[in-house]
Chains A and B, each alone.
Chain A
Amino acid sequence: MSAIDNREDWLAVLMLDEIPVLGARVLEGAVIGPVAVFRTEDQSVYALRDRCPHKGGPLSQGIVHGHRVTCPLHGWNVELESGDAVAPDVGCAGRLSVKVEDGRVYLSKAELAGGA
């Protein structure tokens, strides 16, 4: 999933079943700003910066469908896997690495702090 694989590099932020299926939770307090953690129907988990590339709308509040989310403000569609806006719109919300182990959702400490 990522180069960082030491246990200390990951931070358990919440339990998988605390995220609604086809929904999201918001993580606040990271250096990079709010982070949206999404859960799809097939139980994949993705994390994006909670800012739509269009006008900064909170993607965490959008409707999740397939592996995409629709921004609640103006309806842009964003790919959960990459953070890229779906054509014809152009832009990227910025994705974060995620790992799920034993029902816990982990994010990368370095990425939350704004590093690569």
Chain B
Amino acid sequence: MKKMKLVVIGNGMAGIRTLEELLKLAPELYEITVFGAEPYPNYNRILLSPVLAGEQTVDEIILNSIDWYAENGIRLHLGKTVTRIDRTRRQVIAEDGTTEGYDRLLVATGSSPFILPIPGKDLTGVITYRDIQDTQHMIEAARNYRHAVVIGGGLLGLEAANGLKLRGMEVTVIHLADWLLERQLDPVAARLLQQSLEAKGLRFRLATQTTELRANGDGTRVGAVRCKDGSEVPADLVVMAAGIRPNTALAEAAGLACQRGILVNDTLQTFDPRIYAVGECVSHRGTAYGLVAPLFEQARVCANHLAFMGIGRYTGSVTSTKLKVTGIDLFSAGEFMGGEGMEEITLSDPVGGVYKKLVLKDDQLVGACLYGDTADGTWYFKLLREGRKIAELRDSLMFGENNIGDVGHEGHNKAMAMTESDEVCGCNGISKGAIVKAIQEQGLFTLEDVRKCTKASGSCGSCTGLVEQILMNVLGTDYSDAPTKKAVCGCTDHSHDEVRKSIREHHLLSQQEVRQFMEWRTPNGCATCRPALNYYLLSTWPHEAEDDPQSRFINERAHANIQRDGTYSVVPRMWGGLTNPDELRRIADVAEKFKVPTVKLTGGQRIDLLGIRKEDLPAVWKALDMPSGHAYGKSIRTVKTCVGDEHCRFGTQSSMQMGVNLEKMLFGMYSPHKVKLAVSGCPRNCAEAGIKDVGVIGVDSGWEIYVAGNGGIKTEVAQYLCKVKTDEEVREYSAAFLQLYREEGWYLERTVHYVARVGMDVIRQRIVNDAEGRRALYERLLFALQGAPDPWKTSEAAGVDWRQFRPVQLAAVSEGFLP
């Protein structure tokens, strides 16, 4: 079959990103041609400011080398401006007469700086700030001249002014509005910013209109800027940075509907369905975006449709702001100005140079404006995008996410304050410098990119916030946050919720059905989605969907924990942490017989036998003759207990018995992630119930139940759910909560994150207030766990594949083991 022709007008970040996404999905579908007006391959326009400031070179910001185009079979016309689109003949024609036919056309013509229509705008030395050429003009001018004026105190203008100052010029910024960055900052933050920039030597004229650019004495170039009040500012170089306009002339001439941008629908199609448009030239639902993050979201959706996958929709972006001026920390997002019906929380320390304003509406964070301390910008941005209810957080919202410290990176929570050699990712040993270097050299834009490339934050994830901050600091405005809707993995664009919903509503019973129904891109998934699908099927349709052992991580397949040397650890179950001489004797015998190198007490009140060879596992289980402890599963682990009123002089309730009962009830329960419980017999809480998924604390009149605690990467205190009287109630409420988590949690999401996502109010409503719903949940859990097999004892029922414990011995097969 002859390939279809795809022509791209515009060789910038949006157009080329679309091609990259397209090549990932359908590398062979199109014969691709790209027209670029600039003589350079695709480069990282975001990093022009560091180039101007002398922190990077032009070569360093190239994203796709000329070779990249060749390797992907893309015909590249550099330095050729397209002048006409002939929609009838389906051709594009360039200035020099080059003509290319298309089946699909992608318009990514970007935007141009707005040139003030004032006398003198055409004088030599008057430039805009948009591309490599402009940047080189500025660098050149800084070498030969002294005075520079930047018109426009927006993001681009301030970055230009800062760069010129660093290159030794005297710089004045003339700004029409009453304060700097009026679209990103409120007046208070803007004043702090102005002070910092003034301290760097920049000068400002605010609320000032430029009326004329005057030539110098001999008329060879610009010499001064004249303001409306009649005053003049000397200027050998004038940079116009008063906004951008989408480049729509080409599209308009071709008869495509435009309105402050080329109009596109949610699939990035223009009014001619063969013609797509992405990037700064586009107007989507009335908004034209000038930042990279939204453009990349558009690129992904557009590529999806060009590849005939037809499942993505672009529904607009929420953007945030960060200025790329070294030493200045500011962040804003959403409705940071506040207004009618909104509340504000502010913290102001003018001497310390810190100002924070949070804007709330209807129990949600709708805007944030931070100056001086922006460490929590990414967190606020996340809360804002997700529209999370923040009633519970309100008291501590201002103090940020990190008032409870993460572990693993020496307590750092401010990326800016870290040195290049400070370790960010303690799991993989990645320093801040290595991450910054990767972002700059490899053109990374998202957290996912950084994870793939450097491994930072890819293991335990506790440093995710730091990596996001570093991304934001390096990329500034164009930091691309992860999309609100997160796909399960690279095999699909569907989210965990969507997958769960389809499985439930369409009664899907096998992974194959799910993958077909939801149009998976891979025939049998990957190591990320297979375990998730397997869990979703089993938890939604217990006793109906069939377990697929090959879709389980090795620990759940071998029913033991793999260790770094390939041996396994075995943890037998001790109900409620109780044991007896018989069990201890058997454990001792096993340890001797199988020469177990390490015997250790676990934090969950049991005994761990470490260093067991895989082929010995079945014999070890048999000799132990104890139930599986499931210490290897995304499942119920332990119920830790204190001694309680049977022995303890302070005990008010029988915590040991309660622990045993709970553990027996939950035996064999698989869940999105591991689940740990604890029962304490009095409020002294010796069983540490405050950091467990479900914590039960006995009081004189009954039991208090706490949920969603966590003692791991980030210590999270469990939240109070309710107080009940009877033992049966403890079982019912605990089980109902866990069943809710099992039905709605995302795979690998701990209870603390699940509860944070849906809100404690929802949990209380469904477990405490809705008695009927609670009982139904309780019954569903009991039904799911009916006859749950013990993989160590009734391994056939548990679907354990015995072949895995029998390695093929070369000596045996050499002697004719096989016919």
Partner of A29, one of B523, B566, B811: B811
> Across the interface, which residues of B come within 8 angstroms of A58, CB to CB?
562, 566
> Across the interface, which residues of B come within 8 angstroms of A62, CB to CB?
527, 554
Decide: B814 and A65 in contact? CB cutoff 8 A: no
Partner of B808, one of A13, A42, A55: A13
Contact with A along B561-580 (1 / 0, CB 8 A): 01010100000000000000
Number of contacting residues on B, CB 8 A? 32
Decide: B550 and A20 in contact? CB cutoff 8 A: yes
Contact with B along A24-38 (1 / 0, CB 8 A): 011111100010010
Decide: B551 and A63 in contact? CB cutoff 8 A: yes
**In residues 538-559 of chain B, which contact A (Cβ within 8 Å)?**
549-551, 553-554, 557-558
Decide: B523 and A63 in contact? CB cutoff 8 A: no
Contact with A along B501-530 (1 / 0, CB 8 A): 000000000000000000000111111001
CA–CA, A109 and B553, complex, Å = 32
Decide: A26 and B813 in contact? CB cutoff 8 A: no
Decide: A23 and B553 in contact? CB cutoff 8 A: no
> Across the interface, which residues of B come within 8 angstroms of A66, CB to CB?
522-524, 526
CA–CA, A68 and B811, complex, Å = 29
Partner of B810, one of A23, A27, A65: A27
| B809 in the interface (beta carbon within 8 A) | yes
Decide: B810 and A29 in contact? CB cutoff 8 A: yes
Decide: B807 and A28 in contact? CB cutoff 8 A: yes
* A105 CB, nearest partner CB in chain B, Å: 9
| B818 in the interface (beta carbon within 8 A) | yes
Decide: B808 and A63 in contact? CB cutoff 8 A: no
With known contacts A13-B813, A22-B550, A27–B527 Cβ distance under 8 A: no
CA–CA, A26 and B803, complex, Å = 10
Decide: B810 and A25 in contact? CB cutoff 8 A: no
Number of contacting residues on A, CB 8 A? 41
- Closest B residue to A15 by CB, please name it: B818
**In residues 1-47 of chain A, which contact B (Cβ within 8 Å)?**
11-15, 18-23, 25-30, 34, 37, 41-42
Contact with B along A65-90 (1 / 0, CB 8 A): 11010101111010000000000100
CA–CA, A84 and B756, complex, Å = 40
Decide: A104 and B453 in contact? CB cutoff 8 A: no
**In residues 790-819 of chain B, which contact A (Cβ within 8 Å)?**
801, 803-804, 807-811, 813-814, 818
CA–CA, A91 and B809, complex, Å = 27
| B714 in the interface (beta carbon within 8 A) | no
> Across the interface, which residues of B come within 8 angstroms of A75, CB to CB?
527
CA–CA, A26 and B809, complex, Å = 9
- Closest A residue to B452 by CB, please name it: A88
| A112 in the interface (beta carbon within 8 A) | yes
Decide: A61 and B522 in contact? CB cutoff 8 A: no
Decide: B558 and A18 in contact? CB cutoff 8 A: no
CA–CA, A72 and B807, complex, Å = 18
With known contacts A20-B803, A25-B807, A63-B530, A12–B524 Cβ distance under 8 A: no
Decide: B810 and A28 in contact? CB cutoff 8 A: yes
Decide: B564 and A70 in contact? CB cutoff 8 A: no
Decide: B808 and A11 in contact? CB cutoff 8 A: no
> Across the interface, which residues of B come within 8 angstroms of A22, CB to CB?
524, 550-551
Decide: B566 and A70 in contact? CB cutoff 8 A: no
With known contacts A11-B813, A61-B558, A66-B522, A72–B553 Cβ distance under 8 A: yes
Decide: A27 and B564 in contact? CB cutoff 8 A: no
| A48 in the interface (beta carbon within 8 A) | no
With known contacts A14-B808, A22-B524, A25-B807, A65–B530 Cβ distance under 8 A: yes
Partner of B809, one of A21, A29, A61: A29
10 intermolecular pairs with C-beta atoms under 8 Å apart: A21-B550, A28-B807, A34-B807, A42-B523, A58-B562, A61-B562, A63-B553, A68-B526, A77-B527, A88-B452
- Further 14 A-B residue pairs, CB within 8 A, beyond A61-B557, A61-B562, A70-B527: A11-B813, A12-B818, A13-B808, A14-B808, A18-B803, A22-B524, A29-B811, A56-B566, A62-B527, A62-B554, A63-B530, A65-B527, A66-B526, A112-B810
